[in-house]
Every structure is written in C-alpha cells, then in structure tokens.
C-alpha cells in the first residue's frame, strides 16, 4: 500500500486483486509476495492457498496455477498497533502497511544432482 504517513492510524485489511496470463507448466511454481506488512492470505482462481504471518511470504501454487488467465487475490491485514498504540509505541518508527512486493511467480529450484 504505502509508507507510514499515508494512513497513519489505519488498522484493518487491504484486498488486492489482479488477473494474469500464464503460458508455462505449473510444476514447481511458487508465489513470492515480497515485502508484506503483516499477515497475507492468498487465493488463486477462487481457491484458498494459504496464510503467511512472517517472511518468507512464499506459497506453493503449482496445483492451482493454470495455463491461460489466472485470478489472484491477496488480503493483507496489519496489527492493531497503529490504532491502539501505547505511550512507548508512539515514539517507535512506524512500518509501512499493506503489500509492498514485488509479487512474482517463480519456479522452485531443483535439489537433484
């Protein structure tokens, strides 16, 4: 979403939606979300893939990724610290919020010799 100054007291969930074309085999495909603040829940083509609460924000998607058009939904939820900060946290550096990225589909590296 943005740096800490855009929505300094926002606590909640951002929903990101996109469609993309995939023309290769889906075997071993991973979705990398890049930087995320804080929790990410991911759906691909209407199917729940998983939730990640800390780095690495990476999920296996080979079973649900299809050749042609794919629909990706990522919901990012931050913590309550921005809305319900205590005295000490008001002096702490504020993290950005939302999905910073980059988001990309990669192939898992083979461990075979």
Show me where the domains of the chain are located: 14-80+93-107
Q: Is 96's pLDDT higher than 60?
A: yes
- 75 DSSP β-pair partners: 15, 41
Task: Read off the pLDDT band of 95 (50, 70, 90).
Answer: confident
CA 71/CA 30 separation, integer angstroms: 15
pLDDT for the residue numbered 59 = 97
Mean pLDDT, residues 60-70 taken together: 94
As given in the structure block, the two tokens for residue 39 are 């929790």
Which CATH architecture is the domain 14-80+93-107 placed in?
Sandwich (2.60)
Cis peptide before 13 (omega within 30 of 0): no
- DSSP state, residue 57: -
Average pLDDT, the chain: 84
Cα-based distances in Å from 64 to 22, 39, 86, 101, 110: 12, 21, 43, 21, 20
């Amino acid at each position: 979403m943005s740096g800490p100054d855009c929505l300094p007291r926002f606590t909640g969930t951002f929903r990101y939606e996109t469609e993309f074309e995939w023309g290769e085999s889906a075997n071993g495909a991973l979705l990398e979300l890049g930087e995320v603040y804080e929790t990410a829940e991911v759906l691909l083509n209407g199917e729940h893939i998983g939730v990640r609460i800390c780095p690495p924000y990476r999920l296996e998607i080979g079973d649900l990724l299809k050749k042609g058009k794919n629909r990706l939904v990522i919901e990012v939820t931050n913590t309550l610290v921005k809305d319900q900060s205590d005295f000490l946290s008001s002096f702490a550096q504020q993290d950005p919020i939302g999905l910073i990225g980059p988001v990309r589909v990669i192939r898992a590296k083979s461990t075979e010799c």
